[in-house]
Structure 1
């Protein structure tokens, strides 16, 4: 049987972050797990502005949490700097995550072939299970390129 004690939820500042967090909460509740909430700042930031960016990100993450996150799920928030996929996998390893719950982007396969997918990179690099959460309300037709595009040739 799979033991899930720590659920990592890396969030970006997109509009779907609350939905991804809700799914992570459900998974944490189902397994009685701790919730690790984190954000990766990817843009190069001057050293004198890093502390401010980190404080703002942690404040934003803390604002997404409610009392049940803090009390029942023992949620923590953290912020790291670097390449999102690599940093998420590294964080999962260092913090003993058993499950990563993360959002996907609504780009089609052609875009992902050209640029890569953070979720796919995390799946390849992480030591644990990864649950990719589709954006809430996104129709299935948005997940693939329309007929006639490069992906269909």
Structure 2
């Protein structure tokens, strides 16, 4: 019997990632599993030092992190049905690397990730977070893609 007790679900607050979250909730219900919902904040590039520039990157990163925690907690509360344990987690760094790292650290049994379906130049230049996760994941990966219209 396949034992799925820990599901990791990356989100970026986009519609496709919300679909992935719905699949995670249903799989968690079916397998009586817990969900960890992760949002990864991108790394901000270093800023040149300018004495007239009062904005500080570390302070801004703290504000971004707090905002992400608030938004993610609200999303989990809104989208995950009662009776399913779901924990929101905010990571920081390269999304693909952080998702794989989190799956390793928590010994996730399954990653449920959405694919935005970008192709062509976007994929060539930016790559695919889902593809990176699939290539390096320590556990099975369930990829959710919106139905074609």
Other-structure match for 1:151: none
User: 2:124, 2:61 → 1: CA distance?
Assistant: 32
Distance 1:88 1:113, change over 3 A: same
CA contact (8 A) 1:35 1:69 kept: no
Residue of structure 1 aligned with 2:136, choices 125, 128, 133: 125
1:104 aligns with 2:134: no
Other-structure match for 2:100: 89
Which stretch shifts more, 59-68 or 14-23? 59-68
Distance 1:87 1:68, change over 3 A: closer
Looking at both structures, which has the greater relative contact order when contacts are Cα pairs under 8 Å and sequence separation is at least 6? 2
Kindly report the root-mean-square deviation, in angstroms, between the aligned alpha carbons of the 2 structures: 2.1
Deviations 1:52-107 (Å, cap 9, x if unpaired)?
Answer: 11111111111112379475221100101100000000011111111111110121
Q: How many residues of Structure 1 are paired with residues of Structure 2 in the alignment?
A: 138
Other structure's SS at 1:107 match = coil
Q: Which runs of 5+ in 2 are unaligned?
A: 46-56
TM-score by length of 1: 0.80
How far off is 1:122 after superposition?
Answer: 0.4
TM-score by length of 2: 0.82
CA contact (8 A) 1:10 1:102 kept: yes
Other structure's SS at 2:118 match = coil
Distance 1:105 1:47, change over 3 A: same
